[in-house]
Amino acid sequence: MRNTSLVTISLPPAMVKESERLAKTRQMTRSEFMRAAIRRFIEELDKTQAKRIAWEERDTLKAIQSFEKAKKAGKLKILRPGDLAKWAKE
pLDDT by residue, tens only, the chain of 90 residues: 778 888 899 999 999 999 999 999 999 999 999 999 999 999 999 999 989 888 888 888 888 888 888 888 988 777 778 777 776 766
Task: List the domain range (segments joined by +) for residue 45.
Answer: 13-89
Residue from 38, 18, 20, 39 nearest 30 by CA: 20
Instruction: Give the whole-angstrom CA distance, residue 50 versus residue 35.
Output: 23
According to DSSP H, which parts of the chain are helical? Answer: 13-25, 30-72, 83-89
Residue 31 covered by a domain: yes
Residue 55 covered by a domain: yes
Residue 73 covered by a domain: yes
Residue 53 covered by a domain: yes
Residue from 49, 47, 45, 15 nearest 33 by CA: 15
Q: What is the pTM of this model?
A: 0.57
Instruction: Give the whole-angstrom CA distance, residue 33 versus residue 41.
Output: 12
Domain count, the chain: 1
Instruction: Give the whole-angstrom CA distance, residue 75 versus residue 67.
Output: 9
Residue 8 covered by a domain: no
